[in-house]
Structure 1
Amino acid sequence: MDLGIFGLGPEAFWAAVAVTLFAGFVKGAVGFAMPLIMISSFSAFLEPEQALAGLILPTVVTNISQATRQGMRAARDSVTKYHRFLIATLVLIVISAQFVRAIPQELFLILLGVPITAFALAQLSGRKLALKLQHRHRAEWVMGAIGGLYGGVSGVWGPPLIVYLLSIGADKVETVRVQGVVFFLGAVVLLGAHLQTGVMAGPNLWFSAALVVPAMVGQLLGQRLQDRLDQARFRRWTQALLVLTGLNLIWRAF
């Protein structure tokens, strides 16, 4: 295959494959963080549009199995239960995606680096990110909107969802399944939005498609390892990596 069709040199392409394989592995083991790892790492050697495009199709495909692991009925129940969060996220993804080309690269890197670093540091320090929710329905709309605004530009809308699920005390199985549902539907909407903006066209589209295979392989390996390793310890190593990648983005911005 001529790697030139992706608009990349061989070194950049295989680096993206390696990053995606690792990101898929982390997702399989802990249920999230794949887009965070991909966008943070890709931004070191790809243009912002290429970095965003690269993660979209792998995110769509890997979240199908995560969302339906307990069956389609459980996935449908999650859609019904969290419909406010989903509606707010999906609508705001479509809106914010229209501005992806209007944001300077330096600002793009800061918008990625600061929240990623803050979120990972909070996790590493052992601080509880749960919020006191006096009005759950209102909080669902607000947190979903925040995730959607950020997700349309960066392809990452996981942290607000994770904070919300922690805040309502969702159990582990439900947390992982709901993440899969929200990430899947959000990625489908993001794909549609960027098919319209032109980000997911030509070489970018083929580049994203090529990364589906390493993402799925990594996810399968991560799921197998999840049953054999201490997940709490593995999560801490993952958050440590996110701190480093987030700090790298901030450093590059300045």
Structure 2
Amino acid sequence: MIGYDLTVLAMALAVTLFAAVVKGAVGFAMPMIMISGLASFLPADTALAALILPTLATNLAQALRQGPGAAIATTVEYRRLLVALCLVILVAAQLVPVMPQAILLATLGLPITAFALSQLAGWQLRFDAHNRGRAEILTGLVGGFFGGISGVWGPPTIALLISLDVDKRESVRVQGVVYLIGSAMLLAAHLGSGVADAETLSLSALLTPPALAGLWLGFAIQDRLDARRFRRWTLVVLAATGLNLVRRALTL
């Protein structure tokens, strides 16, 4: 792990473990926690590369929890969303190496802060689901842009599922499939952009075991905690880290 001292590695492992526990316990926010936390002490493009393999591994576990047949059926049903998402991730990812660090930090921090504060205020983004095909494509376009730059495409996906009144069990499966395929495309896109290279992927690989451990720990404590309170404090942490990224952007 040339280039990373033990303090940085310990901080990265702690951020990843916490993010994965949250994902297992409440089903969201792992990439947002990782990108906002890691980018607080690593370059933004390194933080983005570092989250790729942990999110890919945990999304695989989430997508297959109800079996491969259900995952395949979900892939077919939401094909329009997935095609739009993947195509835009490929394009947006190429912007990361050429974006000034200040703009990249602001692009990471502002959406995360807006999401966290809107959730704390009780406001939920919704799509017009009367035309489902158009709603899926719009979700893919929005999610793909922010996904390619930050690895975060959860909020528009969740907004679509709420708009379609999808039940909780299906919602978890759909999110797992969308995040899994998006993560695989993110890896491919940043292998092309140069953000994911031998050094950054070695860090990403190191963070994968604690991510899987945190995910299963989150699953285990899911029914034993006050999910609403835990979710609320998670949003507070997200808002604080998002604002810190914006502060860094303004001071560069």
What TM-score results when the alignment is normalised by the length of structure 1?
0.95
- Are 1:223 and 2:223 an aligned pair? no
Check whether the contact 2:109–2:245 (CA below 8 A) recurs between aligned residues: yes
* Separation in 2, partners of 1:157, 1:48: 17
Instruction: Give 2:234's aligned residue.
Output: 238
Give the Cα separation in 1 of the matches to 2:234 and 2:216. 17
Structure 1 stretches of 5 or more lacking a match?
A: none
From 28, 34, 39, the equivalent of 1:32 is 28
The aligned amino acid for 2:146 is Y
Deviation at 1:202, TM superposition (A): 1.8
- Superposed CA deviations along residues 68-90 of structure 1, whole A, max 9, x for unmatched, are 11111111111111111111001
Give the direction of change, closer, same or farther, for the CA distance of 1:50–1:128 in structure 2 (3 Å limit): closer
* Secondary structure of 2:152's aligned partner: coil
Superposition CA RMSD, Å:
1.2
Partner residue of 1:63 out of 59, 67, 70? 59
Which of 174, 181, 196 is the equivalent residue of 1:200?
196
Post-superposition Cα deviations, 1:17-66, rounded to whole Å, max 9, x if no partner, equal 11001011011111121110010011111112210110000011001110
Once residues 97 and 166 of structure 1 are traced to their aligned partners in structure 2, the CA distance between those partners, rounded to angstroms, is 27
Q: How many residues are treated as equivalent by the alignment?
A: 250
| Counterpart-to-counterpart distance in 1, 2:183 and 2:13 | 19
Corresponding residue for residue 171 of structure 1: 167
2: distance between equivalents of 1:57 and 1:234? 25
Residue 146 of structure 2 is matched in structure 1 by 150
Provide the TM-score with structure 2 as the length reference. Answer: 0.96
Find 1:11's aligned residue among 7, 15, 30.
7
**Structure 1 residue identity aligned to 2:33:** I
CA–CA separation in structure 1 for the residues paired with 2:116 and 2:44: 22
- Identity between Structure 1 and Structure 2 (%): 52
Superposed CA offset, 1:81-135 (max 9, x none): 1111111001111111111111111111111111111111111112232333332
In the TM superposition, residue 148 of structure 1 has moved relative to its aligned partner by 0.6
Q: Say if 2:120 is the partner of 1:110.
A: no
Q: Distance in 2 between matches of 1:161 and 1:105?
A: 27
- Aligned partners of 1:188, 1:62: CA distance in 2, in Å? 12
**Which residue of structure 2 aligns with residue 45 of structure 1?**
41
Find the partner of 2:82 among 79, 83, 86.
Answer: 86
C-alpha distance in 1 between matches for 2:130 and 2:178: 23
* Structure 1 ranges of 4+ moved more than 4 A: none
The Cα shift of 1:233 comes to 2.3
